A and B are shown apart, each in its own frame.
Chain A
Amino acid sequence: MVPFNILVAVCLAYVCLLFLVAFAAERRAERGQVGWLRSPIVYTLSLSIYCTAWTFYGAVGYAARSGLEFITIYLGPTLVLIGWWWVLRKLVRIGRNHRVTSIADLISARYGKSNALGVIVTVISVVAATPYIALQLQSVTLSFGVFASHTPEGWGMPDQGATALWVAGGLTLFTILFGTRNLDANERHHGVVMAIALEAVVKLVALLAVGVFTVWVVAGGVGDVMAKIDASPIADWPLQPGRWMGLTFVSAAAILTLPRMFQVMVVENSDERHLATASWAFPLYLLLMSLFVIPIAVVGLATLPEGANPDLFVLTLPLAVGQEKLAMLAFLGGFSSATSMVIVAAIALATMVSNHVVTPLWLSLRRGGARAPGDVRGLVLMSRRVSIAGILGLGYAYYALSGGSAALAAIGLISFVGVSQILPALIGGIFWRGGTGTGAALGLGTGFLVWLYALYLPSFGSGGLLSPSLLAEGPWGIGWLRPQALFGIATLDPLLHALFWSMVLNTAAYVMGSLLTFPGPIERMQGVAFVNVFDHDPVARGWSRGGAEAEDLLAMSQGILGAEEAQRFFQNAAEAQGKGGFLPDTTPDFIEALERRLGGAVGAATAHAMIAQFAVGAAVSAQDLMAVASEAQQILEYSTQLEAKSEELARTARQLGEANDKLTELSVQKDAFLSQISHELRTPMTSIRAFSEILMDPELPGEMQQKYASIIHEEAIRLTRLLDDLLDLSVLENRKVQLNMKVANLHDLINRAVQAASNTRPERVFTMHRDFPTEHMPVITDTDRLVQVFINLVSNARKYCDAERPSLTISVRQRRGRITVDFIDNGTGIPRKSQSLIFEKFSRLTDTARAGGAGLGLAICREIMVNLGGTIAYLPGQGGAAFRVTLPVRPERKDEAEAA
Chain B
Amino acid sequence: MKRPRQPLFHARQGYRRRRLTDAARLLPILGLFLFFLPVLWRPAATPEPDTAGGGVYLFAVWFILILVAGLLARLLSGGEPGRPQDGEERD
Residues on A lying within 8 angstroms of B by beta carbon are 67-68, 71, 75, 78-86, 226-227, 229-230, 234-239, 241, 244-245, 248, 272-273, 276-277, 279-281, 283-284, 287, 291, 294, 534-536
Contact = CB atoms under 8 A, between A and B. Distances in A.
28 contacts: A68-B51, A68-B58, A75-B31, A75-B35, A75-B58, A82-B27, A82-B28, A82-B68, A83-B24, A83-B28, A85-B21, A86-B28, A229-B52, A230-B50, A230-B52, A237-B43, A241-B39, A248-B36, A272-B85, A273-B77, A276-B73, A276-B77, A279-B69, A280-B70, A281-B70, A283-B69, A534-B86, A534-B88
Contact of B69 (A71, A230, A248, A280): A280
A325 to B, nearest CB: 29
Given A79-B31, A237-B51, 17 more contacts: A67-B51, A68-B51, A79-B28, A82-B65, A83-B29, A227-B52, A230-B52, A236-B49, A244-B36, A245-B36, A276-B77, A279-B69, A279-B72, A281-B70, A283-B66, A287-B62, A534-B85
B79 to A, nearest CB: 11
Contact of A287 (B38, B39, B49, B66): B66
A68 B25 contact: no
Contacts, number: 108
A824 B77 CA distance: 52
A234 B63 CA distance: 23
Contact of B59 (A272, A273, A287): A287
A238 B43 contact: yes
B25 A86 contact: yes
Nearest to B54: A68
A371 to B, nearest CB: 40
Contacts of A276: 73-74, 76-77
B66 A280 contact: yes
B11 interface: no
A294 B55 contact: yes
A535 B59 CA distance: 38
Contact of B62 (A238, A272, A273, A283): A283
Contact of A229 (B29, B31, B55, B73): B55
A111 B41 CA distance: 44
B35 to A, nearest CB: 5
Contacts of A227: 52
Contacts of B1: none
A78 B62 contact: yes
Contacts of B73: 276-277, 279-280
Contacts of B48: 230
Contacts of B50: 230, 235
B11 to A, nearest CB: 19
B8 interface: no
A773 B51 CA distance: 71
A534 B35 contact: no
Given A283-B62, A534-B85, A534-B86, A244 B38 contact: yes
A305 to B, nearest CB: 23
Contact of A68 (B55, B66, B72, B76): B55
A85 B24 contact: yes
Query: Which 8 pairs across A and B sit closest by C-beta, in order of nearness?
Result: A83-B28, A280-B70, A235-B49, A276-B73, A280-B69, A82-B69, A85-B24, A235-B51
